[in-house]
């Protein structure tokens, strides 16, 4: 459920008409809903009620400080994968003791920064990384808490580019090799083994792969405990999918995901960490764009928008579907015609949708891409020297620009002429 609905014929974010934001800030613009973020956080929190748990929001989905601070105020932790994300989490007020550091390529500088901050634990993905962390922590005279990210070789049945739990993927350590890894970790200076971590992929629309992975984690935990390791935290990653297409079957609910967690690992008495990103932020955001031209092609019409692949890359990168709706509610029974929805970037890949049945949208009118709150703004770029798209956070009847659109002067000022052409 989200808070983007038509009221009086105009699409609103909570109590604010999106048109009003577009007029104030210009288009394209990302707009997020506080009530939706809060609701999604709460459903996870309720799904795990009664278990010791941390909801470590995956910042990679949407790392805007306004968004992260909103979640931090509700008690969210953070899953970070770079020093930049760590700094964002800390700046947004996330408690260091609720921050986990994931990712296959943490540098020594990033490890030092995280140890200084006192984060909850590192999710370790390889032996060389473990050794590097041991050396860094020992040199600092501190102990690094770690969980090993195990690769359970489970098919997440999602898009190949966002599947991470098969042996062919670069992530984690094959689960069969985990006992040896833990034996080695237990003997290293500066390292304290505290848990097991798993993350099998993103946009999962079936609970069965989670069940298979968590069952393997439970089995491994029992074995590691028998071998003398004090496993007290299970980090089960993120990955629960969201409905992108109003007409598709709804993915599983967080409540059922929570029940699955209880069923598979609940009897181990561990603290459970989950790292949801998309489910919290995805349907809490839209990208608002204006139609620049409507162009008749040979056998097809093009809707040329002022948003482009640099602003929302998911359709070009994963063939992802985003519902596209006009800001003005179409009259009941308005005819639907197929159009190719494209941006102004000079690549054929700059196509948001092909042959999409849409109600009439004329030049000058605006549309919203739904489900754009996760992996939208964070994956944007300045390709074609298009300034980064701004972000707005709505809260009831109020809204605030939480990242302004850079001016062209600011954009150009970041470059320098080398002395030999100056
Ligand atoms: N934890 C780890 C270790 C991850 O790698 C990810 C996502 C998450 C948590 C959060 O997963 P979520 O709950 O959001 O599914 N750019 C792609 C998605 C990439 C996901 C990468 N890892 C997209 O636009 O679909």
Residue 277 contacts residue 285 (beta carbons within 8 Å): no
Compute, in angstroms, the gap from residue 124 CA to the centroid of ligand 1: 17
Residues in the chain: 422
Is the minimum distance from the CB of 351 to ligand 1 under 6 angstroms? no
CB 342 within 8 A of CB 352: yes
165 close to ligand 1 (CB < 6 Angstrom): no
**Angle, in degrees to the nearest 10, between helices 34-47 and 254-265:** 30
Cβ atoms within 10 Å of 327's Cβ, excluding its own: 22
The per-residue pLDDT for 119 is 98
Q: Is the CB of 282 under 6 A from ligand 1?
A: no
Residue with CA nearest ligand 1 atom 19: 162
Q: What are phi and psi of 283, to 5 degrees?
A: -85, 10
pLDDT of residue 141: 98
Choosing from 346, 397, 417, 421, the catalytic residue is: 346
- Residue 356 is inside which H or E element, if any? strand 351-358
Q: Report phi then psi at 387, rounded to 5.
A: -55, 145
Distance (Å, whole) CA 279 – CA 76: 14
Q: Which residue has the tokens 């069952």?
A: 215
Torsion angle (degrees, nearest 10) of CA 365, 370, 372, 377:
10
Q: Is the pTM of this model over 0.90?
A: yes
Residue-level pLDDT at 161: 80
Q: According to the model, what pLDDT value does residue 165 have?
A: 79
Q: Could you confirm whether 291 is annotated as catalytic?
A: no
Nearest residue to 150 via CA among 128, 125, 170: 125
Q: For the CA atoms of 110, 224, 97, 239, what is the dihedral angle to 10 degrees?
A: 80
Tens digit of each residue's pLDDT, the chain (422 residues):
689 999 999 999 999 999 999 999 999 999 999 999 999 999 999 999 999 999 999 999 999 999 999 999 999 999 999 999 999 999 999 999 999 999 999 999 999 999 999 999 999 999 999 999 999 999 999 999 999 999 999 988 888 787 787 877 888 899 999 999 999 999 999 999 999 999 999 999 999 999 999 999 999 999 999 999 999 999 999 999 999 998 888 899 999 999 999 999 999 999 999 999 999 999 999 999 999 999 998 888 999 999 999 999 999 999 999 999 999 999 999 999 999 999 999 999 999 999 999 999 999 999 999 999 999 999 999 999 999 999 999 999 999 999 999 999 999 999 999 999 97
- Set out the domains of the chain in order of their start, with CATH numbers: 4-31+282-413 (2.40.37.10), 34-280 (3.20.20.10)
Cα–ligand 1 centroid distance for 410 (angstroms): 31
Locus of tokens 């197929």: 338
The answer, yes or no, to whether any atom of ligand 1 lies below 6 A from the CB of 277, is yes
Predicted pLDDT of residue 126: 95
Give yes or no for a contact between 134 and 188, defined as CB atoms under 8 angstroms apart. yes
Site to probe by mutation for ligand 1, drawn from 159, 238, 273, 316 as the one with most ligand atoms within 8 Å of Cβ, is 238
CA distance 36 to 68: 13
pLDDT of 412 reads 97
For the Cβ of 80 lying below 6 angstroms from any atom of ligand 1, the answer is no
The confidence score (pLDDT) of residue 164 equals 81
The answer for residues whose C-beta is within 8 angstroms of residue 79's C-beta and 6 or more apart is 56, 57, 58, 59, 60, 99, 100, 102, 238, 275, 277
DSSP string of 82-142? SHHHHHHHHHTT--GGGEEE--TT--HHHHHHHHHHT-SEEEE-SHHHHHHHHHHHHHHT-
Distance CA 345, CA 331 (A): 32
* Residues sharing a CB contact under 8 Å with residue 155, sequence separation 6 or more, in sequence order: 163, 165, 166, 209
Q: How many CB atoms are closer than 10 A to CB 67?
A: 29
Cβ proximity of 385 and 411 under 8 Å: yes
Mutate to test the pocket of ligand 1, among 40, 55, 56, 58 (most ligand atoms within 8 A of CB): 58
Percentage helix, strand, coil for the chain under 3-state DSSP, each rounded to 5: 35, 25, 40
What is the pLDDT, as a whole number, of residue 297?
A: 83
Does residue 318 have a known ligand-binding role? yes
Q: Which residues pair with 145 in a beta bridge?
A: 192
Q: What is the pLDDT of residue 162?
A: 77
């Amino acid at each position: 459920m989200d808070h983007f609905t038509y009221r009086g014929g105009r699409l609103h974010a909570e109590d604010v008409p999106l048109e009003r934001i577009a007029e104030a800030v210009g288009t394209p613009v990302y707009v997020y809903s506080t009530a939706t973020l809060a609701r999604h956080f709460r459903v996870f929190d309720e799904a795990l009620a009664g278990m010791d748990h941390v909801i470590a929001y995956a910042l990679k989905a949407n790392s805007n400080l306004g968004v992260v601070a909103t979640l931090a105020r509700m008690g969210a932790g953070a899953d970070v994968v770079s020093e930049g994300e760590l700094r964002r989490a800390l700046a947004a007020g996330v408690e260091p003791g609720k921050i986990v550091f994931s990712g296959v390529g943490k540098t020594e500088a990033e490890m030092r920064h995280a140890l200084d901050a006192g984060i909850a634990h590192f999710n370790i993905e390889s032996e060389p990384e473990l050794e590097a962390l041991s050396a860094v922590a020992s040199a600092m005279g501190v102990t690094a808490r770690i969980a090993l990210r195990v690769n359970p070789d489970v098919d997440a049945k999602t898009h190949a580019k966002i599947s991470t739990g098969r042996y062919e993927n670069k992530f984690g350590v094959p689960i069969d090799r985990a006992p040896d890894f833990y034996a080695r970790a237990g003997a290293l200076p500066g390292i304290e083994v505290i848990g097991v971590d798993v993350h099998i992929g993103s946009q999962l629309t079936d609970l069965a792969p989670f069940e298979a992975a968590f069952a393997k984690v439970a089995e491994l935990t029992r074995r590691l405990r028998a071998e003398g390791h004090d496993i007290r935290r299970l980090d089960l990653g993120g990955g629960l999918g969201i409905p992108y297409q109003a007409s598709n079957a709804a993915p599983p609910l967080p409540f059922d995901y929570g029940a699955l967690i209880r069923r598979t690992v609940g009897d181990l008495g561990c603290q459970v960490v989950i790292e949801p990103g998309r489910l919290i932020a995805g349907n809490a955001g839209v990208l608002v764009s204006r139609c620049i031209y409507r162009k008749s092609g040979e056998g097809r019409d093009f809707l040329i928008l002022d948003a482009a692949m640099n602003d929302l890359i998911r359709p070009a990168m994963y063939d992802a579907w985003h519902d596209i709706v006009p800001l003005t509610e179409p009259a009941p029974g308005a005819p639907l015609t197929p159009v190719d929805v494209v941006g102004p970037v000079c690549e054929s890949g700059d196509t948001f949708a092909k042959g999409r049945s849409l109600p009439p949208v004329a030049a000058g009118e605006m549309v919203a891409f739904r489900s754009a709150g996760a992996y939208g703004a964070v994956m944007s770029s300045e390709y074609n020297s298009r300034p980064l798209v701004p972000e707005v956070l709505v809260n009831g009847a109020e809204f605030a620009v939480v990242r302004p659109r850079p001016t062209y002067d600011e954009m150009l000022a970041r470059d320098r002429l080398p002395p030999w052409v100056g």
